[in-house]
Structure 1
Amino acid sequence: MSIQNSTLALAGVFQSAELVRQIARQGLLDQAPFEASIQSVLKIDASSVEEVYGELDGVKKGLQVLCEQLGAGTKRNMEVMHYVLNLIFLERKLAKQANMMSNIQTGIVVAQAHTERYAVTAPEIITHLAEVYTETLSSFDYRIKVNGERRFLENQFNADKIRALLLAGVRSTVLWRQKGGKRLQFIFSRKKIVRFAQQYLENIKKSLV
C-alpha cells in the first residue's frame, strides 16, 4: 500500500471537511473543489486514486488544507479536524454494515444516471445524494454535528450540500482505508504525509506553467 495514494485520498477527506466548514460558516464554498468532491462520489470504479477526483488539481484544496492542519507550526482549524476525525469514525461503523454499503452504492448509481440530464452539482443530484446520506449514514446513533451560522444551516440547499459533502468525505475515507490509511499515521507518519502532499502541490503548480 502506497502512502502517496493514501495521502491523496486523505486530502479528499480534508477537502470535504473544509467545504462543509465553508458552507456552515459562510454560506458559500469554492465551486471547483466542490464539483470535484461530488464527482468523487459518483466515481465508483477508477483505475487510480487521482482519477477519482478527475485529476490531481481536483483535490488541490484538500492538499492545501491537509498541509495546514498537519504541518508543523501551522495554525490549525479545529472544526476541520473535528469533521475529518468524525468521518473516519463513521467509516469504521459503515464498514461493518454490508447492507448499508450496498444501499449507498445503489443510490449512487441512480445519481450517476441523473448526470446524463444534469450537471454534477445541479440541485437534483445534490438533493439525491443528500437523501442517500440521510437514509443510510444518518441512521447511526452516532452522527456528525455540523457547527455554523443558523441562517446558513437552515437553508435547505445548503443542508443538502453539507450532507452530499459528508457522503463524499466518507467515500474518500473508504478509499483512504483501502490504500492503507490508519489513524495512527496522524501521529507517526504526519511529516511524511505532509511531505507527499507538498510534492503533489508542486506537481500541480508545474503542470500549470
Structure 2
Amino acid sequence: MNQGPNLQDQAYALAGVAQFARYAHDTAQDGQDLPVRFERALHAIFCTDPDQALDVFENRHELADGIAYLKPQLAGQRPDDKSAQVARYIGQILKLAGRLRQDEQALGRIRGAIDRARLAESADVAEILDTAYRETISPMRPQIMLQGHPSYLKNEYLQRRIRTQLLAAIRAGVLWRQCGGGFVSLFLRRKALLAGLEGG
C-alpha cells in the first residue's frame, strides 16, 4: 500500500496496534489465548499487500476490540490501570515499528519467515513467527517487557502466542507509519483520528 496521509487509515492502523497489544497483555496477565485472537493476528501479519488499511484487519468487526480500546483514549478519558499499561506498550510498539522500517535486513528476515509460515502446518506457524520476532525485534530498543503472571510468562506455548500478537501489533505500527502516522499527529490530531474511527 502506497498512499498519502489518510486519517481514517491511520486510525484503523492505530486501533490494530492497540488491539494486538491488548491481546498480548491479556495473555501475559490472565493466560487468555482465544483462537479468534490468534487468527486475527495471523491475518494482519500475512496481509502484506493491502489495498487499504482496513484490509489488514479484514473488516471493522474483526478490529472491534482495538476500536473499543482506542476511542476513550483519543477522547481524553482517564485510563484505568490496564488501559494505561497497554498505552505504554503502544508507545513502545510505535517506536519499534519506526526503527524496523529503517532496517532492511530485519524486514527481509521477517518477510522470509512470513513466507515460510504461510506454507507451514498450522501447528508450526507460531513457532516460525516467534523465532522471527526473537531474532529481529527482540534485539531492538525499546524492548517490550510485558507485565504478567510468571506462570504464563514462562510458558513456552504462551510465549510464542504472545510474541505473535506483538509481531501483529508491530505490523500494524508499520502500517500506521505507511499511512502517514507519526507522534505529532497522534498528539495533535486526536479528534480527527477519533472521527476516523467513528466514520467507518
TM-score, L = length of structure 2: 0.90
Where does residue 23 of structure 1 map in the other structure? 27
Alpha-carbon distance in structure 1 between the residues aligned to 2:141 and 2:194: 33
Alpha-carbon distance in structure 2 between the residues aligned to 1:73 and 1:176: 22
Any conservation in 2 of the 1:13–1:173 contact (CA below 8 Å)?
Answer: yes
Unaligned runs of at least 5 residues, structure 2: none
Alpha-carbon distance in structure 2 between the residues aligned to 1:159 and 1:48: 31
Look up the SS of the partner of 1:162 in the other structure.
helix
2:133 pairs with 1:133: yes
Where does residue 206 of structure 1 map in the other structure? none
Alpha-carbon distance in structure 1 between the residues aligned to 2:183 and 2:60: 24
Higher RCO (CA < 8 A, seq sep 6+): 2
CA RMSD of aligned residues (A): 1.6
Superposed CA deviations along residues 136-189 of structure 1, whole A, max 9, x for unmatched, are 111225411111111111111111111111111111011110001111222211
| Number of corresponding residues | 194
Where does residue 43 of structure 1 map in the other structure? 47
Where does residue 111 of structure 1 map in the other structure? 117
Superposed CA deviations along residues 71-126 of structure 1, whole A, max 9, x for unmatched, are 23343421101110000111122122111111111111111112xx43xxxx4211
Where does residue 9 of structure 1 map in the other structure? 13
Any conservation in 2 of the 1:14–1:65 contact (CA below 8 Å)?
Answer: yes
Cα distance 1:190–1:104, how it changes in 2: closer, same or farther (>3 A)? Answer: same
Within the candidate set 67, 72, 96, 2:76 is matched to 72
Cα distance 1:65–1:106, how it changes in 2: closer, same or farther (>3 A)? Answer: same
Off by >4 Å, runs of 4+ in structure 1: none
Give the Å deviation of 1:23: 0.5
Alpha-carbon distance in structure 2 between the residues aligned to 1:194 and 1:182: 15
Alpha-carbon distance in structure 2 between the residues aligned to 1:113 and 1:136: 21
Alpha-carbon distance in structure 2 between the residues aligned to 1:30 and 1:10: 22
TM-score, L = length of structure 1: 0.86
Superposed CA deviations along residues 35-61 of structure 1, whole A, max 9, x for unmatched, are 212211011122221211122212111
Question: What percent of counterpart residues are identical?
Answer: 25
Give the Å deviation of 1:190: 1.0
